[in-house]
Amino acid sequence: MRAGSAVVALALGGAAVAGVYKWVDEKGKVHYGDLPPRAVTATRVQAAPGAGDVELRWYDVTGTDARALWQSITVAGPKGDDGRVFAGRTDWNLGYRYQTRVLDGQCRVTTVTTKLAVSMVLPRWRDEARAPAELRAGWQRYLRALRDHENGHRDNGVAARTEVEARVRGLAPRRDCAGIDAEAKAVANEVVARYVELDREYDRRTQHGLTQGARFP
């Protein structure tokens, strides 16, 4: 049996999707959301099947008015590969392994396994409790729109994983297992490259989430 090498994909988004967190307030009521209050202990809920392993990291932003808050984002936010600063960033990495076996003189793929890891960076507003109610409401609407936008990036990673699994598993038998290795690598790299471009096109089409309501203030 042989195992295929890993293939890695990188997808950048102009926004980010939060993980789902669970916490209990001072009255004992259970809450679920993507931005737990700073003063409570929250636990991350297991990601839904197919979503991959999600690592969520935060960076702090400050300000009690919209202008100061946005300026803080432009200073502290993560950068894309082109150096532009975004409110958040998502990267997905896809790895695969497969096994082959020679049966009746033909090398065949017998099993395929994949691992999709999603890394997300989000802003955490330190001064939210001191800000006007209208600004807080606007901020929450903005974060929900960012989440909706970035779900599209995550879904591209999930779709890439599904296609890699199906196409590598469906490779035609060959007399030489080295030929299977080369074809599997070519297929996986082609799929990954296509979904990376789909991520870029998604950002162009949505203007990094602006057309989906990810606009602040």
Q: Which domain holds residue 35?
A: 21-212
Is the residue at 82 inside a domain? yes
Is the residue at 15 inside a domain? no
C-alpha dihedral sign at 82, 87, 89, 90: negative
- Output the pLDDT for position 51: 52
Identity (one letter) of the amino acid at 46?
Answer: Q
- Give me the DSSP letters along 126-151: TTGGGS-HHHHHHHHHHHHHHHHHHH
pLDDT one-digit tens code per residue, 22-32: 567 777 665 54
Residue with the bigger pLDDT between 127 and 120: it is 127
Is the residue at 3 inside a domain? no
How many CA atoms does the CB half-sphere of 134 hold within 13 Å? 3
Give the global pTM.
Answer: 0.73
Is the residue at 118 inside a domain? yes
Is the residue at 157 inside a domain? yes
Find residue 21's DSSP bridge partners: 33, 44
Is the residue at 4 inside a domain? no
A 10 A CB-CB count for 69 gives 23
Is the residue at 89 inside a domain? yes
What's the mean per-residue pLDDT of the chain? 81
Q: Tally the domains of the chain.
A: 1
Is the residue at 217 inside a domain? no
pLDDT one-digit tens code per residue, 24-79: 777 766 554 546 676 667 766 544 445 556 777 888 999 999 999 999 999 999 89
Is residue 5's pLDDT more than 50? no
* Size (the chain), residues: 217
What tokens does 147 get?
A: 């989440």
Cβ atoms of 63 and 72 within 8 Å: the answer is: yes
